[in-house]
Chain A
Amino acid sequence: MNDYILTVLVLAGIYAIIAVGLNIFTGYTGQISFGHNAFAAIGGYTSAILTTDRGWPPLAALFAGALLAVVAATLVGYPTLRLRGHYLAMATLALGLISYVLSVQLEGLTRGFTGISGIPPLGIGALVMTTPRAYFVLVWLLVAAAAGSAWLIVHSRLGLSLRAIRGGEDAARALGIDVTRYKVQALAISAAYASVAGSIFGHFVSYISPEAFGLYMVVLLFTMLFVGGIGTTLGPVVGALVIGSLPEVLSGFKDYRELIYAAVLIVILLFAPRGVLGLVARRPAARPGT
């Protein structure tokens, strides 16, 4: 594989990590967040600022970013997660917009539209990742770790409560589940995934700007979730691969690329509303003997 393809796959993998986290909150807990770009931005900017201006090692900055994202999600979560449906969608959308405005306006920290360049590559001590191949291996190991940890969470006692909340908040409350607390926890966990991915993005590209974490990121994430299969373990990963590589696959079509891209999406949503994985998943009716 040449470096170009590896780069496309690294970026798809970074998106896959965010999508896996978002899937915990949206797919399994049934809550909408149109503001997940904010958490990726927190990771990206924390890593960029700490590793360039302050000379932190990348790994320490990455953890600091994730911690900050978890704290931000918890602070934002308590007031907003009392909201339901459209109201929650609007509140989280506002969160994404606010993070964008802050990344533009806090010039002292973020350097505004200019962005932060010269972000060092990831590495521990003398071990520094310089090639797309190294990032490809690392990112896809992390994708596997993300999907695996998400599976463990979803099948834990916490995950059972989250899935109960998706089934119905009143029903979950009547079972003794503290719905608000668990929704905040789900948001905080998914924020950590987004933040880690945001940090890696900064190190890989070595440059970040407000545009990198704009609303388009949210559009892409939800497209990935729906295309891959929302509420499934590997759906977000498959979705990120398909959506991440589709523009490249279609690059030969030049002017018609966007058109074909949109058409593919519409066809998938029409004929595979449960996503690509939904097509191949076993359905109860198809089981022999029942």
Chain B
Amino acid sequence: MTGPLLRVDALGAAYGAIEALRDVTFEVEAGALVAVLGPNGAGKTTLLRALMGLTPGPGAIVFDGQPITAWTTERRASAGIALVPEGRGVLGPLTTAENLALGAYARRGRARATEVADDLRRVHALFPVLAERRDQRAGSLSGGEQQMLAIARALMARPRLLLLDEPSLGLAPRIAREIFTVLGALNREGLTILVVEQKAPLALRMARRAHVLRTGRLVATVDPSELGSAADLARLYLGTV
């Protein structure tokens, strides 16, 4: 299999008459960590929803060489795309263990119980606090713990592409750094990651490439190593590039 793992071509999305995404084109190579940066309301969440099939729109999405634009969300999930939604998206009334069990849902049939148990050990090793909170309701976890649970749940699906919607949102800087350290480690192990973020520095430290999204369009692509200062980034956000 050659070519990128994900190819997005002229993707659009609209909520009724309001256009949220327009003509978005980019690629994510297998094994890469790509960031999409942009201010609030730029269309970051919509982009991930469109990739997951939750918000319809024009354009083409090719995953692993297959056009998936017409696929349902469920089918994309079983093909190996996992979304860590904005606001963590854990199921509050369910326990930590139940949330994790649901993560393995998409690959049931393919997955054996022993594999699921192995994955559970793996995510517990990654986030030991989740093992301690096993029988606690997800809604009663702290913000950082909920974010860890959301990521762990996505990993239970053994995804080939992990989509993350602002994983640092609302977290203390130390916790956000911890989360990104784990994401960096997962990426080095070979997991392909697409992360959208408003706060750029953390994502830029890890990313191979970053796209800047502004009012629904990709306006710039940056190589993090060439980005000199915070001032450069501010210019990208504000549109003076």
Residues of A that sit less than 8 Å from B by CB: 157, 160-161, 163-164, 166-168, 170-171, 173-179, 231, 284
Contact = CB atoms under 8 A, between A and B. Distances in A.
A176 B98 contact: no
Contacts of A178: 74
A5 B77 CA distance: 55
B120 to A, nearest CB: 15
Interface string B69-87: 0001110011000110100
Contacts of A231: 93
9 contacts: A163-B98, A164-B94, A170-B54, A170-B85, A173-B53, A175-B103, A175-B157, A176-B74, A231-B93
Closest 10 CB pairs of A and B: A176-B106, A167-B91, A176-B77, A173-B73, A174-B83, A171-B89, A176-B78, A176-B74, A176-B105, A178-B74
B136 interface: yes
B89 A161 contact: no
Contact of B92 (A157, A161, A167): A167
Contacts of A171: 85, 89, 91
A174 B101 contact: no
B102 interface: yes
B52 A174 contact: yes
Contacts of A176: 74, 77-78, 105-107, 157
B137 interface: yes
A166 B91 CA distance: 9
Given A176-B74, A176-B78, A176-B105, 15 more contacts: A157-B108, A163-B94, A164-B102, A170-B49, A170-B73, A171-B85, A171-B91, A173-B52, A173-B74, A174-B52, A174-B85, A175-B106, A175-B153, A176-B157, A179-B74
Contact of B93 (A157, A163, A175, A177): A163
A178 B53 CA distance: 13
B91 A174 contact: no
Contacts of B101: 160
B46 to A, nearest CB: 12
Contacts of B136: 284
Nearest to A165: B91
Contacts of A179: 74
Given A160-B101, A173-B77, A166 B106 contact: no
A199 B99 CA distance: 39
Grouping DSSP codes into helix (H, G, I), strand (E, B) and loop, the A interface class, with mixed when no group exceeds half, is helix
Contacts of B98: 160, 163
B140 interface: yes
Interface of B: 49, 52-54, 72-74, 77-78, 82-83, 85, 89, 91-94, 98, 101-103, 105-108, 136-137, 140, 153, 157
A96 B2 CA distance: 57
A214 B94 CA distance: 35
A166 B93 contact: yes
B85 A177 contact: no
Contacts of B157: 175-176
Contacts of B153: 175
Nearest to B79: A176
A113 to B, nearest CB: 44
A173 B92 contact: no
A88 B95 CA distance: 28
A272 B85 CA distance: 33
A28 to B, nearest CB: 10
B102 to A, nearest CB: 5
Contacts of B77: 173-176
Nearest to A290: B136
B45 to A, nearest CB: 11
Nearest to A173: B73
A284 B157 CA distance: 29
A177 B89 contact: no
Contacts of A166: 93
Contacts of A284: 136-137, 140
A34 B108 CA distance: 34
Contacts of A163: 91, 93-94, 98
Nearest to B101: A160
B102 A160 contact: yes
B26 to A, nearest CB: 21
A174 B101 CA distance: 14
Nearest to B163: A174
A246 to B, nearest CB: 29
Contacts of A175: 77, 102-103, 105-106, 153, 157
B91 A168 contact: yes
B54 A174 contact: yes
